[in-house]
């Protein structure tokens, strides 16, 4: 009984610590744009005959900061409301092609698509998994502001499909591998720290796993492991 109570207390403490960490991150992400909104509102209320350009500048700043806050809230809501996946056979290469056509990639990033046309289908929700893969491709792009190579690999074994997204960016220290997939933790200067958390949540809801392999100075690889369609034969 004492051991059970100790375990319950430990779980309760871990939940409170997680809640405090997430709450602190949310507060940070929302307080900064709110401060900018407050500053611009103060200017508009108290400036002595501001020029139309100045008024427009501060209104646009308010609009941008409100959009940032809305993005934080929307991302958190999306994770909370993620419905149970409807697993279906989905071909990998067409999904990747569609994402690459939709994501804006600068001309200084080369793309290597190494996903065979005959790769077996992954067994996933066709609405959810593209969100996860899109996040990984965007992260790889953002890791290479000076340019580099974005590589997308697709492989299979008798049980699973593995889709890997690699970049030639600065890489991530081993001690940070697990931490960066937690909510509201980001290595980006302006990142919200939600992309990888959402990606992992989607992948795990679809019965898969997200793995990272990275080395400072040599880039990063994020690999999505998913169930594959089993041939009827």
pLDDT band at 5 (very low <50, low <70, confident <90, very high): confident
pLDDT one-digit tens code per residue, 206-221: 999 999 998 888 899 9
CB-based contacts of 162, cutoff 8 Å, min separation 6: 153, 154, 155, 156, 223, 224, 225, 226
pTM of the model: 0.66
- Please, which residues bridge with residue 112 across strands? 151
Phi first, then psi, for residue 102 (nearest 5°) are -90, -30
pLDDT one-digit tens code per residue, 91-114: 999 999 999 988 888 999 999 999
pLDDT for 189 beyond 70: no
Contact 153, 163 (CB under 8 A): yes
pLDDT one-digit tens code per residue, 196-206: 777 888 888 89
pLDDT one-digit tens code per residue, 107-141: 999 999 999 999 999 999 998 898 889 889 988 99
What is residue 221's predicted lDDT score, i.e. its pLDDT? 95
pLDDT for 190 beyond 50: no
- What's the rounded mean pLDDT across residues 151-156? 96
Q: How many residues does the chain have?
A: 233
- What's the rounded mean pLDDT across residues 168-187? 67
How many other β-carbons are positioned within 10 Å of the β-carbon of residue 214?
22
pLDDT one-digit tens code per residue, 18-72: 445 555 556 666 777 888 899 999 999 999 999 999 999 999 999 988 887 776 6
Tell me the C-alpha to C-alpha distance, in Å, between residue 128 and each of 53, 78, 85, 123, 125. 43, 11, 7, 12, 5
Give the whole-angstrom CA distance, residue 226 versus residue 203: 8
Give the whole-angstrom CA distance, residue 175 versus residue 166: 19
- What's the rounded mean pLDDT across residues 148-173? 93
Contact 123, 227 (CB under 8 A): yes
Give the whole-angstrom CA distance, residue 113 versus residue 140: 14
């Amino acid at each position: 009984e004492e051991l059970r109570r100790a375990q319950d207390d430990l779980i309760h403490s871990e939940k409170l610590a997680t809640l405090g960490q997430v709450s602190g991150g949310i507060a940070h992400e929302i307080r900064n744009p709110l401060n900018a909104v407050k500053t611009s509102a103060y200017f508009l209320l108290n400036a002595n005959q501001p020029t139309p350009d100045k008024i427009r500048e501060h209104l646009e700043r308010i609009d941008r900061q409100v959009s940032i806050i809305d993005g934080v809230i929307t991302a958190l809501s999306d994770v909370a409301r993620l419905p149970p996946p409807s697993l279906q056979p989905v071909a990998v290469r067409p999904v990747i092609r569609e994402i690459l056509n939709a994501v804006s990639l600068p001309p200084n990033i080369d793309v290597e698509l190494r996903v065979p046309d005959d790769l077996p289908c992954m067994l996933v929700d066709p609405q959810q998994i593209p969100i996860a893969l899109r996040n990984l491709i965007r992260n790889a792009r953002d890791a290479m502001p000076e340019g580099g190579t974005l590589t997308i690999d697709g492989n299979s074994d008798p049980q699973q499909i593995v889709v890997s997204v690699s970049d030639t960016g600065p890489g991530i220290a081993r001690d940070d591998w697990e931490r960066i997939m937690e909510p509201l933790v980001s290595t980006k200067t302006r990142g919200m720290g939600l992309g990888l958390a959402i990606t992992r949540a989607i992948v795990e809801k679809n019965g898969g796993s997200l793995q990272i392999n990275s080395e400072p100075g040599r880039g990063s690889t994020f690999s999505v492991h998913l169930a594959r369609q089993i041939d009827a034969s």
